[in-house]
Amino acid sequence: MFYGSIVALITPFRQGQVDLRALEGLIDFHVNNQTDAVLVCGTTGESPTLTFEEHKRVVEHAVRHSAGRIKVIAGTGANATHEAVELTSHAKEVGADACLLVAPYYNKPTQEGLYRHFKAVAEEVDIPIILYNIPSRTGVEIAPETIYRLVKDCPNIVASKESTPNMDRISELRKLLGENFTLLSGDDSLTLPMMALGAKGVISVANNVMPREVKAMVDYALQGDFLKARELHYYLLDLFRVLFIETNPIPVKTACWALGMCEKEFRLPLCPMSADKEKKLIQTLKAYQLKTVRGDG
Query: How many angstroms separate the Cα of 264 from the Cα of each of 227, 234, 243, 249?
Result: 37, 28, 15, 11
159-197 burial: b if 16+ Cβ within 10 Å, else e? bbbbbbeeeebbebbbeebeeebbbbbbbbbbbbebbeb
> How far is residue 85 from each of residues 49, 91, 97, 188, 229, measured CA to CA in Å?
19, 10, 16, 29, 38
Contact call for residues 185 and 201 (beta carbons, < 8 A): yes
Name the residue type at position 172.
E
Name the residues annotated as catalytic. Answer: 132, 161
* Distance, CA of 75 to CA of 294 (rounded, Å): 30
